[in-house]
Amino acid sequence: MTVACTLLDRYGVVVRAVLQRESRLLPKWRDLVRAFRRLEARGEARGGRFVNGFTGEQFAWPEAVDALRKAARSTDDDSVVVAAADPLNLAGITTPGERVAIADRNRLLYRGGVPVATYVGGTQSADPQRPGPDLYCQFENGNVDPQRK
């Protein structure tokens, strides 16, 4: 049960795909599902389909479900920078595109919940299909400074 709670704390919503980044020492998915179902039966967690594009069961804290609903209604397109070592670096796992290696200075830029640019090994790259015509990203010293042109 402790492992299931830790995963919910880390990700908010747990699907089988996010466990690809986790240690091989984790319990098997079927054992985790039992723990998530116990949490759901006690009213502590929710089970359902919260994130499109994933098959199988999904589990979440109630606060995460509320946050997802709020984000879905929002028109806010803020940019967020995530370090490659952060558990939120799920590029190539839950989002389209290549994985970004966990390294000290590697970064990802998300806009609207989708990775639109990366800074890997001192090289910046942007996804030409995702950023919108007004997005220009300048990575300096491993940090990102989104500027609109």
Summarised one tens digit per residue, pLDDT across range 111-133 is 777 788 888 888 888 766 654 43
Last residue of a domain, one of 73, 89, 105: 73
Residues 7 and 67 in one domain: yes
Q: What pLDDT shows up at residue 81?
A: 84
Q: What pLDDT shows up at residue 132?
A: 46
Q: What is the mean pLDDT of residues 77-90?
A: 80
Residues 10 and 63 in one domain: yes
Summary mean pLDDT of the chain: 81
Task: Report CA-CA distances (Å) from 67 to 2, 63, 98.
Answer: 23, 6, 27
Q: Which of 138, 140, 142 is nearest to 126 (CA)?
A: 138
DSSP state of 20: G
Q: What is the mean pLDDT of residues 84-110?
A: 83
Residues 6+ apart with CB under 8 A from 36: 4, 8, 14, 45, 47, 57, 59
Contact 50, 65 (CB under 8 A): yes
Contact 146, 109 (CB under 8 A): yes
Q: What pLDDT shows up at residue 71?
A: 75
Q: What pLDDT shows up at residue 54?
A: 83
- 69-82 burial, b at 16+ Cβ within 10 Å, e below that, comes to eeeeeeeeeebebb
- Three-state DSSP state, 14: strand
Q: Is-above-0.85 flag for pTM? A: no
Which range has the worst mean pLDDT, 29-43, 58-72, 84-98? 84-98
| pLDDT of 41 above 50 | yes
| pLDDT of 141 above 60 | no
CATH code, domain with 64: 1.10.10
Last residue of a domain, one of 39, 73, 107: 73
Which range has the worst mean pLDDT, 21-25, 36-40, 53-57, 128-132? 128-132
Residues 92 and 51 in one domain: no
Domain that holds residue 27: 2-73
Q: What pLDDT shows up at residue 135?
A: 43
DSSP state of 72: H
Q: What is the rounded CA–CA span in Å between residue 4 and residue 18?
A: 13
